[in-house]
Structure 1
Amino acid sequence: MFSKSNLFCLGALLVLVAVTYQYRSEIGQLIQRSPSTPSKQPRRPTTSMPGETKLPTSFYNPPFDPDNPPEELRSPSGRRLFTKNELAAHGPNGPLKPILLAVMGLVYDVDKAPENYGPEGGYKFFAGKDGSRAYVTGEFNGEGLTDDLEGLSPLEIGEIEGWTQFYEKQYTFVGKLIGRYYNEDGSKTKEWHEVQALLSQKEALEAERRELEKRFPGCNSRWNKKEGGYVFCSEKSGGVHRDWVGFPRRYFAPGSSSWRCCCVHERDLDNPHVKLYPDCDPSATGCKTDPEKLRKLKS
């Protein structure tokens, strides 16, 4: 039998256990009702980081009503700015005069040459838009008449830049086109800088090409129905005056499958970019050519 003192201790112990259980239950309920603890992992930023430029998905080109034109757009320096819709209104059949066109974002007044850019002009497809790419591709249709120069070589872009110099001399520069090359405030876009970076390579490439033309000058050629084709070298062939004649060969530019006729100095006859004409004596300064055989050659 338990003594009274033992029974008292046992009762106190049971009360303590019950209180502890109730306390833990209430704490658990509080934890369940409380907000979840924030994650310690940093959130992905939703805005551009410092120094980044978020490129716009479109450029400023609101609808243009030629009957109620808005106030002229100008850059902070006062330079006239055109939207694409406004430029289109200055096309060959547009409601506004003068006739305008753009090359690489530069806008020119070509109204003095309606025979070229007017409704019946041979180059009317250039008016009212920036069709820069077509100046080197010759694609004068809807898709070809674009200001997108992606994929063109520095030399090809250099040819287009040459057209801006032509228009600068022959016609009147009137402003800039908002879009691929100029922002709404007239400042230069990222793509303008990319094109200029390609143009900076043009000089080096042209110098390399001139050096190759001196080293491998073009050959003379003639053709008649009776004798067929004939290529030959002289001390002036290719427009390069020199103290050697050379041997006619087919020159393949690095990475190219097309070739041109050139005259090769004897020291360069082993150059991997030059190949002999079919059925031609390697030591001859002139060779008969068979167009059919040349057409069948792959290299």
Structure 2
Amino acid sequence: MSSLLSLSTLSTPAVVSLLALLPVALYLYTRFSSQPSLSASPQTQEEEKEEKETKSIMQPPRTDLAPPKDDPFKLEQLKEFNGADASKPIYVAIKGTVFDVTHKRDTYGPGCSYNMFAGKDASKALGKSSLKEEDAIPDWTSLDDSEKKVLDDWHSFFTKRYNIVGRVVDLPPFAANL
């Protein structure tokens, strides 16, 4: 005798109940399966670009980083390193630490989705996971505890992947205890 369940052994109400669950099962399968959904629409070029940049930014830690530098940068001076001038490096500061992200120009350069972080200390935006220009400021004191954790995670992420080239020296008083 086979241990497999066969539809012929089920009562009519049981078969109807199973058939009623079929759409739910298909939805859950397509929603959580690694396979593309049958109803999924093709990605737009913008979505493909964003997905590529997200994968691009999530590279593994580097083992060839230079020793950290402690060169002083003022916030105004940092603006020169926003990627607009291709002859200059691209810098991103987090909690006052200045990182050289030039080798990821395709992510932080002009017209790229994370360019808003280039040439500034955008700690608040990183903590909030925000791409709003008004959040791209160094004052992160208004972040709640979970957002501060996100900010610390970003700082750790950058420390393992980008050379530290300096420190912002004219952060407002909120940063005195960093």
What TM-score comes out, normalization by structure 2 length? 0.55
- Hey, what does 1:201 align to over in structure 2? none
Gaps of 5+ in 1: 1-77, 182-188, 197-299
Aligned counterparts of 1:191 and 1:98: Cα–Cα separation in 2: 25
1:170 corresponds, among 155, 161, 164, to 161
* Contact 1:80/1:176, CA 8 A, preserved across alignment: yes
Aligned counterparts of 2:174 and 2:97: Cα–Cα separation in 1: 16
Aligned counterparts of 1:190 and 1:148: Cα–Cα separation in 2: 7
Aligned counterparts of 2:91 and 2:175: Cα–Cα separation in 1: 23
Q: Quick check: which has more Rg, 1 or 2?
A: 1
Aligned counterparts of 1:168 and 1:139: Cα–Cα separation in 2: 20
**1:152 Cα deviation (Å)?**
1.4
- Hey, what does 1:191 align to over in structure 2? 175
- Hey, what does 1:80 align to over in structure 2? 71
Gaps of 5+ in 2: 1-68
Deviations 1:103-159 (A, max 9, x none): 010000000011111113221111000111111324323321111112212331121
Letter in 1 for 2:115: K
**1:166 Cα deviation (Å)?**
0.7
Aligned counterparts of 1:136 and 1:159: Cα–Cα separation in 2: 5
* Contact 2:116/2:133, CA 8 A, preserved across alignment: no
RMSD after superposition: 2.1
* Contact 2:127/2:143, CA 8 A, preserved across alignment: no
- Hey, what does 2:170 align to over in structure 1? 179
Q: Percent identity?
A: 28
Q: How many residues align?
A: 110
- Hey, what does 1:100 align to over in structure 2? 91
Which structure features the higher share of strand residues? Answer: 1
* Contact 2:81/2:119, CA 8 A, preserved across alignment: yes
- Hey, what does 1:161 align to over in structure 2? 152
- Hey, what does 2:103 align to over in structure 1? 112
2:124 corresponds, among 133, 143, 154, to 133
SS at match of 1:167: helix
Aligned counterparts of 1:124 and 1:176: Cα–Cα separation in 2: 20
* Contact 2:96/2:121, CA 8 A, preserved across alignment: yes
Higher relative contact order (CA 8 A, sep 6+): 2
Aligned counterparts of 1:108 and 1:127: Cα–Cα separation in 2: 10
What TM-score comes out, normalization by structure 1 length? 0.34
**1:95 Cα deviation (Å)?**
6.5
Aligned counterparts of 1:165 and 1:192: Cα–Cα separation in 2: 20
Matches within 5 A, 1:139-288: 139-180=130-171, 191-193=175-177
* Contact 2:141/2:174, CA 8 A, preserved across alignment: no
Which structure features the higher share of helix residues? Answer: 2
